[in-house]
Chains A and B, each alone.
Chain A
Amino acid sequence: MSELRFNPIIQEWVITATHRQGRTFLPPASYCPLCPTAADGFPTEIPRPDFDIVSFENRFPSLSLVPSEPSVLATDLYGVEPSAGLCEVVVYTPEHSSSLASQPPEQILKLIHVWKHRFREMDDLEIVKYVYIFENKGEAVGVTLHHPHGQIYAYPFVPPVAVKELKAARDHFQSNGTCLFCSVLEAELQDGSRIVTENEGFVGFIPFFARYPYEVHIYPRRHCTSVLDLSQAEDFYFADILKQILVAFDKLFETSFPYVMAIHQRPSDSGSYEEVFHFHIEFYPPMRAKDRLKFLAGSELGAGTFINDSLPEQTAATLKELVEPVQWKTI
Chain B
Amino acid sequence: MERRDNENEIRGIPTVRLNDERTVLGDGRNLIFFDFDITWPEDENQDSFDIEAIGHV
Chain B residues with CB under 8 A of A325: 4, 8
Q: A117-B18, A221-B57, A232-B13 are in contact. Are A54 and B30 (CB under 8 A)?
A: no
Chain B residues with CB under 8 A of A55: 31-32, 34
Q: Which of B2, B16, B30 contacts A329 (CB 8 A)?
A: B2
Q: Is A311's beta carbon under 8 Å from chain B?
A: no
Q: Which of B32, B40, B53, B57 contacts A54 (CB 8 A)?
A: B32
Q: Are A330 and B25 in contact (CB under 8 A)?
A: no
Q: Are B56 and A235 in contact (CB under 8 A)?
A: no
The proximity string for A residues 292-331 relative to B, scoring 1 for CB distances below 8 Å and 0 otherwise, is 0000000000000000000000000000000001111111
Chain B residues with CB under 8 A of A222: 54-57
Q: Are B33 and A109 in contact (CB under 8 A)?
A: no
Q: Are A51 and B4 in contact (CB under 8 A)?
A: no
Q: A109-B38, A233-B13 are in contact. Are A47 and B25 (CB under 8 A)?
A: yes
The proximity string for A residues 87-112 relative to B, scoring 1 for CB distances below 8 Å and 0 otherwise, is 00000000000000000001001100
Q: Are B16 and A110 in contact (CB under 8 A)?
A: yes
Q: Is B20's beta carbon under 8 Å from chain A?
A: yes
What is the bound-complex CA distance between A233 and B50, given in angstroms? 9
**B1, closest chain A residue (CB):** A330
- Which of B49, B54, B56 counts the most A-chain CB atoms under 10 A from its CB? B54
What is the size, in residues, of chain A's interface with B at 8 Å between Cβ atoms? 43
Q: Are B3 and A330 in contact (CB under 8 A)?
A: yes
Chain A residues with CB under 8 A of B2: 327-329
- Which bracket fits the contact residues of B? 20 to 34
Q: Please tell me which stretch of A133-141, A181-189, A283-291 contacts chain B, meaning at least 4 of its Cβ atoms lie within 8 angstroms of it.
A: A181-189
The proximity string for B residues 7-38 relative to A, scoring 1 for CB distances below 8 Å and 0 otherwise, is 01010011110101001010101111111101
Among A36-61, those with CB < 8 Å from B are 45-48, 51-57, 59
**A236, closest chain B residue (CB):** B13
Chain A residues with CB under 8 A of B29: 56-57, 59
- Secondary structure call for the A interface: mixed
What is the bound-complex CA distance between A324 and B16, given in angstroms? 24
Q: Are B55 and A221 in contact (CB under 8 A)?
A: yes
Chain B residues with CB under 8 A of A329: 1-3
What is the bound-complex CA distance between A325 and B5, given in angstroms? 9
Q: Which of A54, A59, A200 contacts B51 (CB 8 A)?
A: A200
Q: Which of B10, B14, B25 contacts A109 (CB 8 A)?
A: B14
Chain B residues with CB under 8 A of A231: 53-54
Q: Is A113's beta carbon under 8 Å from chain B?
A: yes
Chain A nearest Cβ from B43, distance in angstroms: 8
Chain B nearest Cβ from A118, distance in angstroms: 8
Q: Are B8 and A327 in contact (CB under 8 A)?
A: no
**B20, closest chain A residue (CB):** A117
What is the bound-complex CA distance between A324 and B30, given in angstroms? 39
Chain A nearest Cβ from B9, distance in angstroms: 10
Q: Are B57 and A189 in contact (CB under 8 A)?
A: yes
What is the bound-complex CA distance between A113 and B23, given in angstroms? 19
Chain A residues with CB under 8 A of B13: 232-233, 236
Residues of A that sit less than 8 Å from B by CB: 45-48, 51-57, 59, 106, 109-110, 113-114, 117, 182, 185-186, 189, 199-201, 221-223, 231-237, 240, 325-331
Known: A56-B31, A59-B27, A330-B38. 17 other contacts (CB 8 A): A45-B31, A52-B33, A54-B34, A56-B29, A57-B29, A109-B38, A113-B16, A117-B20, A199-B10, A201-B54, A232-B13, A236-B14, A240-B10, A326-B4, A328-B10, A330-B1, A331-B38
Residues of B that sit less than 8 Å from A by CB: 1-4, 8, 10, 13-16, 18, 20, 23, 25, 27, 29-36, 38, 40, 43, 49, 51, 53-57
